[in-house]
């Protein structure tokens, strides 16, 4: 099994970054190949992606652990693809994000590692942009959204 790993910092508080990333419907905003990500109940997520010019649909799983600010995910298939994401405080208004991917697929060169680094850059950019917009509009950001969602269930 091949493992890929990357850590980066983001100019957004750890709780805010985790709140944004823990919503699967945000996947297409930072993962360019992902076209659809629809929660189906429990840990199940219906996903559709463009892979090497073909649209692929699948059921995946996403487990969130708010207490540890971590996510784990995977999808059935020939590559045995799964991964983990952890977010830690890196200061009062910044966080450190670490992602580890596992797959039996061997990629050419640095293709997967570079894709991982680009995706983490995109996710931190999207979360930071959302936090800036939410702060400007006075709505309190994703953590406020999570509290509203939790109280309505």
* Predicted confidence (pLDDT) per residue in 54-112, tens digit: 998 989 999 999 999 999 998 877 667 789 999 999 998 899 999 998 877 666 678 88
Averaging pLDDT over each range in 53-57, 128-132, 146-150, which range is the top one? 53-57
* 34: Cα within 13 Å, side-chain hemisphere: 21
The whole-model pTM stands at 0.76
Return d(Cα 110, Cα 101) in angstroms, integer.
Answer: 14
Which of residues 75 and 148 earns the better pLDDT score? 75
């Amino acid at each position: 099994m091949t493992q890929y790993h990357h850590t980066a910092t983001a100019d957004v508080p750890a709780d805010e970054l985790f709140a944004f990333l823990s919503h699967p419907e945000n996947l297409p905003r930072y993962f360019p190949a992902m076209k659809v990500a629809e929660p189906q109940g429990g840990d199940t997520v219906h996903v559709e992606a463009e892979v090497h010019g073909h649209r692929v649909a699948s059921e995946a799983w996403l487990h969130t652990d708010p207490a540890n600010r971590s996510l784990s995910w995977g999808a059935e298939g020939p590559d045995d693809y799964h991964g983990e994401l952890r977010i830690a405080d890196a200061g009062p208004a910044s966080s450190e994000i670490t992602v580890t991917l596992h797959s039996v697929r061997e990629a050419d060169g640095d293709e997967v590692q570079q894709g991982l680094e680009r995706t983490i850059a995109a996710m931190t950019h999207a979360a930071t942009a959302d936090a800036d917009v939410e702060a400007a509009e006075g709505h309190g950001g994703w953590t406020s959204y999570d509290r509203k969602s939790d109280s309505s269930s």
